[in-house]
Amino acid sequence: MSHTKFVQGYCEEDIACNECHLINSGDDCRVGNAKQLLYFCDTRDNKTRLDPTAFFECIEGAYRVIRCADNLAFSPHTQDCEAANSHKAKKRSSGSRTGDICNFNTDCQSGMFCGTGVCTCLSDYVAIAGYCWPKVNPGESGCIEDQQCEAVWPAAKCSSSGLCECPYKTVPSRTRDGTSRIILV
C-alpha cells in the first residue's frame, strides 16, 4: 500500500496535507507554465514533503513527473536540475522561506519582512512555494506563475509570454484606483 499522494507545488513542507490542493500526474495544465516543485503527502503523519529530485512539467496540456538524474536536484529558480550539492548551498545562502522563524527583516528574503517572528510576504507580493513573488495586474507583463495574477484578480492567469490575462469574456481597464476588469457581453 502506498503512503504518498502528489501535492501541487504551491504547498509548504511540513503542513497538513488537507491544506494543499492535490495534483496528480496527468492533471490538466497550461503549456508554457513554469515547472513545479513536486510535493507529496506522507499519509503516515499527514504532512507534506518535498521530493527535491523530481518536478512536475506541463507536457501537451498535462502534468508529468520528471525525475532528475542521479545526484541532481530540481531548482525552481533556474527551472532545471542542478548538482545536488550546489543546489543545497544556494538554498542555504538565499535566506529564509515564508513561514521560517526570524528576528530581523534581514533574516528574510527579498519581498519579505519579519512579522511576529516569521518571514512573511510584503502586501504587494504573494507566497508561492516558500518564496515571495511580486503580484502582477491583469494586462501587465512580468508574471511567471498564475498565482501572481490570481492574487490581484480571481481566475486571472499568466500567459506563456508572461502577461497576466483576465478570465474569459473580461478585459483589463485602468482606472485612477488601479486596474479593474470590464465584463464583455
Domain match, 89 and 130 both? no
Residue 10 has pLDDT above 70, yes or no: no
Identify the residue with better confidence: 123 or 93. 123
CA–CA distance, 20 with 24 (Å, rounded to integer): 13
**What are the grid coordinates assigned to 138, written together?**
491583469
The dihedral built from the CA positions of residue 24, 29, 19 and 9, taken in this order, carries a sign that is: positive
Percent of the chain with pLDDT over 70: 77
Among 73, 94, 115, the domain boundary falls at: 94
Domain shared by 124 and 66, yes or no: no
Shared-domain flag, residues 177 and 130: no
pTM of the prediction? 0.47
| CA 22 – CA 12 distance, rounded (Å) | 13
Given this model, what pLDDT does residue 31 score?
A: 75
The reply to whether 30 and 84 lie within a common domain is: yes
Same domain flag for 73 and 119: no
Model confidence over 141-157: pLDDT tens digits?
Answer: 998 888 899 898 888 89
What pLDDT shows up at residue 89? 35
**Does the pLDDT of residue 14 top 60, yes or no?**
yes
The string of pLDDT tens digits covering residues 29-63 is 887 777 888 877 777 788 877 788 888 888 888 88
Q: Is pLDDT at 1 greater than 60 in this prediction? A: no
Verify that 33 and 45 share a domain, yes or no: yes
Categorize the per-residue pLDDT at 92 as very low, low, confident or very high, splitting at 50, 70 and 90.
Answer: very low
CA 89, distance to chain mean position in Å, is 21
Q: Are residues 117 and 151 in the same domain?
A: no
Are residues 75 and 163 located together in one domain of the fold? no
Query: pLDDT at residue 74 above 70?
Result: yes
Count CB neighbours of 51 within 10 A. Answer: 18
Residues 5 and 88 in one domain: yes
Q: Which of 62, 79, 94 is the last residue of a domain?
A: 94
Instruction: Give the chain's domain count.
Output: 3
32 plus 117 within the same structural domain: no
What single-letter DSSP state applies at residue 20? S
Phi-psi region of 61 (alpha: psi -120 to 50; beta: other; left: phi over 0): left
| Together in a domain, 10 and 87 | yes
Give me the domain span that covers residue 127: 96-134
* Strand 112-115 to 80-83 pairing: unpaired
Element (H, E) at 94: none
Distance CA 63, CA 65 (A): 7
CA 185 – CA 175 distance, rounded (Å): 20
Based on the domain organization, do 42 and 130 belong to the same domain?
no
